[in-house]
């Protein structure tokens, strides 16, 4: 069996990205990935403005596809399929990538598949890696999601826990905003937290029963703490205290999922998987249990098309296809209460 080459397109939020991945058996290899960030366009608003995002995707989508093809040394005529992240995300942004992918696939008579962006964040953990022993516990911690899955295969994920309010990445961005660290703030807060001293700054660790998460309370606690008795302490000290409770909750809940699922492997993806404390703590708890840990490498943590191409390649190799009428959708199929194409409730 020869390798097949799949083009993946990501445009769910504020990153325009295109990538080529080859699939041979279960092995996924990234041939190229080009990403154009929109951080500069949204900075003054301290958050992503949907209308600005979708218009910027329109300007950038063709150049990033050209870049991915040039870097991978693969012309469009040599592709074996096209995948797009078609849910969840900002609807106008999703439409740009989904429509472009359909147009390329239709004009070249290639298979087209839509990919759920949340699942793609987990597929990011198996790109360019040797095979894994299944089942696995999967954790996606990003700007829009904090969800736990039991996974029987890279695409076979069942939701077992999720945030009931903010996502972990959102908590980092809001914390960074409270500490005036600029936009986007998650990575900056993380870097600052490495050098701070949290002693004496007492933020509460949110403790939910089961496998759900909640991050809205700790954000309020930080907002109160910075104006309290420790107000003159450096921002780094607050960053260290805040990161410890946000990641503390993620790690405690992940530990519980590992206990419950007794799975031999653990996958962690999404923007927050870049977090240095999360990476250290996840290694510690997995090592203690003899669980094989795959955290996405830093370059595949934040939004990218390599993970979309990888998930699409797995679907296409399994003989799956989507129709030209596949719609973009704001919610993940794996979100609690989401409706699938047949109106099925999760």
- Binding region for ligand KG4 (CB under 6 A): 13, 142-144, 169-170, 172-173, 184-187, 190, 270-272, 274-275, 302-303
Asked if residue 177 lies in contact with residue 183, where contact means CB atoms within 8 angstroms, the answer is yes
Q: In the complex with ligand KG4, which residue's Cβ is closer, 144 or 161?
A: 144
φ, ψ for residue 92, nearest 5 deg? -65, -40
Q: In the complex with Zn ion, which residue's Cβ is closer, 21 or 198?
A: 21
Region binding Zn ion by CB under 5 A among candidate stretches 34-42, 138-146, 172-180, 307-315: 138-146
Asked if residue 207 lies in contact with residue 215, where contact means CB atoms within 8 angstroms, the answer is no
The partner in contact with residue 186, picked from ligand KG4, Zn ion, none with C-beta cut-offs of 5 to 8 angstroms by kind, is ligand KG4
The partner in contact with residue 97, picked from Zn ion, ligand KG4, none with C-beta cut-offs of 5 to 8 angstroms by kind, is none
Q: How far is the CB of 273 from ligand KG4 (least distance, A)?
A: 8
Among 142, 253, 275, 332, binds Zn ion (CB under 5 A): 142
Q: How far is the CB of 309 from ligand KG4 (least distance, A)?
A: 16
| 237 vs 253: CA distance, rounded Å | 25
Q: How far is the CB of 176 from ligand KG4 (least distance, A)?
A: 7
Asked if residue 12 lies in contact with residue 300, where contact means CB atoms within 8 angstroms, the answer is no
C-alpha distance from residue 185 to each of 151, 181, 296 (Å): 31, 6, 20
| 4 vs 95: CA distance, rounded Å | 26
The partner in contact with residue 187, picked from Zn ion, ligand KG4, none with C-beta cut-offs of 5 to 8 angstroms by kind, is ligand KG4
Region binding Zn ion by CB under 5 A among candidate stretches 38-46, 70-78, 136-144, 241-249: 136-144
Q: In the complex with Zn ion, which residue's Cβ is closer, 142 or 240?
A: 142
Q: How far is the CB of 332 from ligand KG4 (least distance, A)?
A: 10
Q: How far is the CB of 270 from Zn ion (least distance, A)?
A: 6
Q: What is the number of H-type helices and E-type strands within the chain?
A: 10, 10
Q: How far is the CB of 12 from Zn ion (least distance, A)?
A: 7
Ordered alpha helix ranges (H), the chain: 39-42, 50-72, 91-108, 117-123, 168-178, 186-193, 216-225, 235-261, 276-289, 305-317
Q: In the complex with Zn ion, which residue's Cβ is closer, 163 or 240?
A: 163
Beta bridge partners, 294, equal 267
| 193 vs 200: CA distance, rounded Å | 15
Residues that contact Zn ion, how many (by CB under 5 A): 2
**Binding of residue 54 to Zn ion (CB under 5 A):** no
The partner in contact with residue 272, picked from Zn ion, ligand KG4, none with C-beta cut-offs of 5 to 8 angstroms by kind, is ligand KG4
Beta bridge partners, 265, equal 136, 292
* Rounded-to-10 torsion of CA 140, 315, 87, 172: 20
| 224 vs 201: CA distance, rounded Å | 11
Q: How far is the CB of 172 from ligand KG4 (least distance, A)?
A: 4
Q: Could you identify the residue written with the tokens 């696995």?
A: 136
Q: Which of residues 286-345 bind Zn ion (CB under 5 A)?
A: 303
Interface ranges with Zn ion (CB under 5 A): 142, 303
């Amino acid at each position: 069996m020869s390798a097949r080459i799949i083009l993946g397109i990501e445009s769910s939020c504020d990153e325009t990205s295109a990538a080529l991945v080859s699939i041979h058996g279960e092995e996924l290899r990234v041939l190229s990935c080009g990403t154009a960030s929109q951080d500069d366009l949204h900075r003054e608003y301290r958050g992503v403005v949907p209308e600005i995002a979708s218009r910027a995707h329109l300007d950038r989508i063709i150049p990033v596809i050209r870049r991915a093809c040039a870097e991978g040394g693969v012309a469009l005529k040599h592709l074996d399929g096209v995948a797009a992240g078609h849910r969840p995300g900002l609807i106008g942004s999703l439409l740009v990538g989904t429509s472009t992918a359909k147009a390329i696939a239709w004009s070249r008579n290639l298979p087209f598949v839509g990919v759920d962006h949340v699942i793609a964040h987990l597929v990011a953990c198996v790109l360019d890696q040797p095979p894994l022993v299944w089942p696995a516990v999967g954790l996606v911690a990003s700007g829009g999601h904090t969800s736990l899955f039991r996974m029987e295969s890279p695409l076979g994920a069942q939701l077992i826990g999720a945030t009931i309010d903010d996502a972990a990445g959102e908590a980092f961005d809001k914390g960074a905003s409270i500490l005036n660290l600029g936009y986007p703030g998650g990575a900056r807060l993380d870097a600052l937290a490495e050098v701070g001293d949290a002693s004496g700054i007492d933020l509460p660790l949110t403790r939910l029963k089961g496998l759900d998460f909640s991050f809205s309370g700790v954000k309020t606690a930080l907002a109160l703490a910075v104006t309290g008795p420790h107000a003159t302490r450096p921002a780094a000290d607050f960053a260290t205290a805040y990161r410890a409770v946000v990641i503390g909750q993620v790690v405690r809940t992940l530990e519980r999922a590992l206990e419950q699922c007794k799975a031999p492997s653990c996958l962690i993806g999404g923007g927050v998987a870049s977090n240095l404390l999360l990476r250290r703590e996840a290694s510690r708890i997995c090592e203690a249990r003899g669980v094989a840990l795959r955290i996405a490498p830093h370059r595949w943590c934040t939004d990218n098309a390599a993970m979309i191409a990888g998930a699409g390649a797995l679907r296409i190799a399994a003989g799956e296809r989507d129709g030209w009428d596949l719609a973009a959708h704001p919610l993940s199929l794996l979100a609690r209460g989401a409706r699938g194409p047949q109106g099925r409730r999760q």
